[in-house]
Amino acid sequence: MNNNLKRYMAVKKILTACMILLAFTPVFAQGGATAISNAASDIRDYWDPIKLILKAVGGLVGFIGGLRVYNKWTNGDQDVNKEILGYGGAMIFLIVVPEFVTAFFA
């Protein structure tokens, strides 16, 4: 009988905690929605300079990659195609991704 009473009390405590948590959830959710909208507006404010920096880095990666590919090509290396794919893919990624992110936050 004592075990059943202990089990009943434990279940009662768990249910009480769940009820309290469910009662205060809407109060917590209201602050969270405001914080999320504030964060989204902050990201929108900073995104244009970040996008410009990413495009500059993409152009720099493309320039350095072009020099490395040219150097390998003139030296007769066999792995020129790997260099083209590696640096070209990185450059395209750095230039195209900001446009997709802009469309996502717009």
C-alpha 80/C-alpha 88 separation (Å) is: 12
**Strand ranges, E, within 5-104:** none
The pLDDT tens digits of the residues spanning 39-65 come to 778 877 888 888 888 888 888 888 888
Contacts (Cβ under 8 Å, ≥6 apart) of 88: 62, 65
The answer, yes or no, to whether residue 105 has pLDDT greater than 80, is no
pLDDT averaged over every residue in the chain: 79
Q: What is the domain partition of the chain in residue ranges?
A: 2-105
Q: Residues 87, 69: contact at Cβ < 8 Å?
A: yes
**Strand ranges, E, within 31-76:** none
Taken in order 15, 17, 21, 24, the sign of the CA dihedral is: positive
Tokens found for residue 15? 């249910």
